[in-house]
Structure 1
């Protein structure tokens, strides 16, 4: 095993898929009141976070420490890896990438830390592109370039019922200047240059979801793509959107499914219940 891949739990890779591809996933933490939980099925789940937010409990998130990431790198080395590629969510949104850089300095094998400049499943798709490159015989540097290119080409579009949660977490980025205190607006947002940025604003949820669908179709264009619909406590709307995109992007998908699932707990803590997102990731 010449190279190993490490990522974090915000990449939303199903545990079975990560295991199948040999990808190590390091959890971020969710802090609810005084309780600190690792993101994952046995700790902080989307349901736990949504319930806490609805109950107005204090919810925050925390990056993995450099020591935790270093242990992941050393475990890979013990399993035979001669180098490690560590791919993480945007460094503008989390200190996870910084932890990876710090841990890389102490590792016994070379570690290439990569800031995907993305969040959620867009980071996950980048990780899978890196795994594909390694499986094809590429080096860690070549796999990093594959991940970087796919992340840069991906569109991460999302709708939130309210900007309040993004405001609380200080992650609203450029959107704050545009919307200010106008929390009655139904905003469509995107990840741009690693931060949350305003895409459009509409007055009703139904109109926002319709626009989200149109924007996803536009993002796909004529290219083959992978598509994911993610939500927090909004399964019906997410399922409907996934169904529409499966139909409208049938040619782009070539029989692949639109993956539809609940947003991870860490990202969910910053967007709140009712959030709906689409990631459109072009295939090479």
Structure 2
């Protein structure tokens, strides 16, 4: 059984990660891009340099996003099926954050072949991790229903996300603020630390300074690692930042403190889609197991 794999661009896969997924699937792999609009000009996710996007946001440019459409997913499915896929598993960013998951489902309903869509309830590094789990299932010869169940279980049990935007304003404007709306009345007095709960933005803490926010994230990383660690699986922390620079002082500080606590770290640039909704100074962590 040849199984294809589809995802959306918010995973921000590296060239090496994408090459691995193509190898595992026999080149039956597709990434459907979302769109970011900057001053009315549309860019496919990943097309605009992260630093340039952050600069434009800091300068006050109007930034918005557009979800991936059913037509885009239908085209991805058709391409994989034409190249020999017999079944397809699609893993998307959280449906609480974007209509992209609904587009993937709508496109799948028009195909006679078995296409199973999994809402990862996360994005960025968490979504990339979910794809690794899917790839492991494909390499072991499992069918899409089994793979989908394993991916959903992993997303619920073995990945945790926290992030600290410099302001809640971008989340408020985009309507993605979720339960963190409770913090808006105190926005001038706090630095928010947020996370994803069942795929939606939720408050994890409120502190007075950026330094305290980073300290809170280190503590959250340790708590999450202790919660999801097993004897069989390695836990690591992926640090993410909007500007895409691992040398950013906040990234360096967070990496040093997390590694001093005995955890491994990696780095990933936030998708332009995520940056558009959380702001240019956002830093995040994702704690998860490896497949």
Q: TM-score, normalised by structure 1?
A: 0.92
**What is the CA distance between 1:171 and its match in structure 2?**
0.6
Q: Which residue number in structure 2 is paired with residue 9 of structure 1?
A: 9
Pairing partner for 1:210 from 207, 212, 215: 215
Q: Quick check: 1:262 aligned with 2:269?
A: yes
- State how far apart, in whole Å, the 2-side matches of 1:166 and 1:247 are: 32
CA contact (8 A) 1:162 1:184 kept: no
Q: Which residue number in structure 2 is paired with residue 141 of structure 1?
A: 145
Structure 2 CA distance for partners of 1:183 and 1:147, relative to 1, 3 Å: farther
Q: Which residue number in structure 2 is paired with residue 226 of structure 1?
A: 236
CA contact (8 A) 1:7 1:87 kept: yes
Pairing partner for 2:97 from 62, 82, 93: 93
- State how far apart, in whole Å, the 2-side matches of 1:94 and 1:280 are: 22
Q: Deviations over 1:191-240 (max 9, x none)?
A: 00111000110001101101101110111014421320001237221133
Pairing partner for 1:277 from 259, 276, 284: 284
Q: Which residue number in structure 1 is paired with residue 25 of structure 2?
A: none
Q: Which residue number in structure 2 is paired with residue 241 of structure 1?
A: 254
Write out aligned runs for 1:112-127 (5 A): 112-127=116-131
CA contact (8 A) 1:18 1:25 kept: no
**What is the CA distance between 1:16 and its match in structure 2?**
2.9
Q: Which residue number in structure 2 is paired with residue 155 of structure 1?
A: 160
Q: Which residue number in structure 1 is paired with residue 183 of structure 2?
A: 178
Write out aligned runs for 1:15-34 (5 A): 15-22=15-22, 23-34=29-40
Q: Which residue number in structure 1 is paired with residue 173 of structure 2?
A: 168
Count of aligned pairs: 276
Find the residue that maps to 1:270 and give its secondary structure.
Answer: helix
- Unaligned runs of 5+ residues in structure 2 are 23-28
**What is the CA distance between 1:264 and its match in structure 2?**
1.3
Find the residue that maps to 2:123 and give its secondary structure.
Answer: coil
Find the residue that maps to 1:91 and give its secondary structure.
Answer: coil
**What is the CA distance between 1:168 and its match in structure 2?**
1.1
**What is the CA distance between 1:181 and its match in structure 2?**
5.3
Find the residue that maps to 1:178 and give its secondary structure.
Answer: helix
Find the residue that maps to 1:177 and give its secondary structure.
Answer: helix
Pairing partner for 1:79 from 55, 65, 83: 83
- State how far apart, in whole Å, the 2-side matches of 1:196 and 1:101 are: 22
Q: Which runs of 4+ in 1 moved over 3 A?
A: none
Q: TM-score, normalised by structure 2?
A: 0.90
- State how far apart, in whole Å, the 2-side matches of 1:29 and 1:48 are: 16
CA RMSD of aligned residues (A): 1.6
Q: Deviations over 1:115-156 (max 9, x none)?
A: 111121111101110111111121111111221122112110
Mean Cα displacement is larger for which, 140-149 or 65-74? Answer: 140-149
**What is the CA distance between 1:73 and its match in structure 2?**
0.7
